[in-house]
Amino acid sequence: MSLDPRVAIGHVHLKVADLERALGFWRDVMGFEVTQRMGQRAAFLSAGGYHHHIGLNTWESAGGGPPAPGTTGLYHVAILHPDRASLARALRRVLEAGIPLDGAADHGVSEALYLRDPDGNGVELYRDRPRDEWPRTPDGELAMVTLPLDVQALLNEASDPSAP
């Protein structure tokens, strides 16, 4: 049995300690638009007019702290950017907001930036390379790697006026 290839992951809901602080990150830095707000308890955000990609709520977490190390939970939410220029602009916003990167990697199939939101949730910002460029073994399996990503070169692309 295999899953229908049209299946996609639709949205993620995050428990946050402070809704305004979370909105400062997800709306103001990441660039998502608020589509609906439920007072001071929840907000729903999207890109491109979808009903929501990110749900933020304080229903069980108002004033709480991040999960302790060594516990289970969400490792990270990954935000796919359509191209390298878009990823570069996201990187510029992150750095201008003073948010440190936890890491940056070239995985062969993608280029990825890793950071944390104000509640300690892992966030991956990435762009996929075209499928025909993905590294493969001689028998056709993916051969993903973890190599250093040249963050400065990516950031320079955000400054390039000819970049879309």
133-143 pLDDT, tens digit per residue, is 999 999 999 99
Q: What percent of the chain has pLDDT over 70?
A: 97
95 and 149 share one domain:
yes
143 and 84 share one domain:
yes
Q: What percent of the chain has pLDDT over 90?
A: 86
The type of residue at 95 is L
* Confidence tier at 162 by pLDDT (50, 70, 90): low
The type of residue at 71 is T
Domain of residue 153, residue span:
75-158
- 47-62: pLDDT as tens digits: 999 999 999 999 999 9
Cα–Cα distance measured from residue 66 to residue 121, given in angstroms and rounded to the nearest whole number: 8
What pLDDT score was predicted for residue 67? 87
CB burial of 57-84 (b: ≥16 within 10 Å; e: otherwise) equals: bbeebeeeebeeeeeeeeebbebebeeb
131 and 87 share one domain:
yes
CATH of the domain at 97: 3.10.180.10
* Confidence tier at 159 by pLDDT (50, 70, 90): confident
Does 66 map to a domain?
no
101 and 32 share one domain:
no
Does 69 map to a domain?
no
In this model, does residue 164 exceed pLDDT 80?
no
The predicted model scores a pTM of 0.92
88 and 148 share one domain:
yes
Q: Which helix (H) or strand (E) holds 91?
A: helix 84-96
125 and 99 share one domain:
yes
- 66-103: pLDDT as tens digits: 988 899 988 999 999 999 999 999 999 999 999 999 99
In this model, does residue 27 exceed pLDDT 60?
yes
What pLDDT score was predicted for residue 160? 59
Query: Closest by alpha carbon to 79, among 130, 45, 118?
Result: 45
C-beta of residue 21 within 8 angstroms of C-beta of residue 118: yes
What pLDDT score was predicted for residue 24? 98
How confident is the prediction for the chain on average, in pLDDT? 94
| DSSP 8-class letter at 66 | P
Does 133 map to a domain?
yes
Does 67 map to a domain?
no
121 and 89 share one domain:
yes
Ranges assigned E (strand) in the chain: 12-15, 33-38, 42-46, 54-57, 77-81, 103-106, 110-116, 122-128, 147-148
Structure tokens at 1: 């049995």
79 and 152 share one domain:
yes
Sign of CA dihedral 86, 92, 96, 101: positive
Domain count, the chain: 2
C-beta of residue 34 within 8 angstroms of C-beta of residue 27: yes
Does 140 map to a domain?
yes
* Confidence tier at 36 by pLDDT (50, 70, 90): very high
79 and 56 share one domain:
no
User: 142: left (phi > 0), else alpha (psi -120 to 50), else beta?
Assistant: beta
85 and 41 share one domain:
no
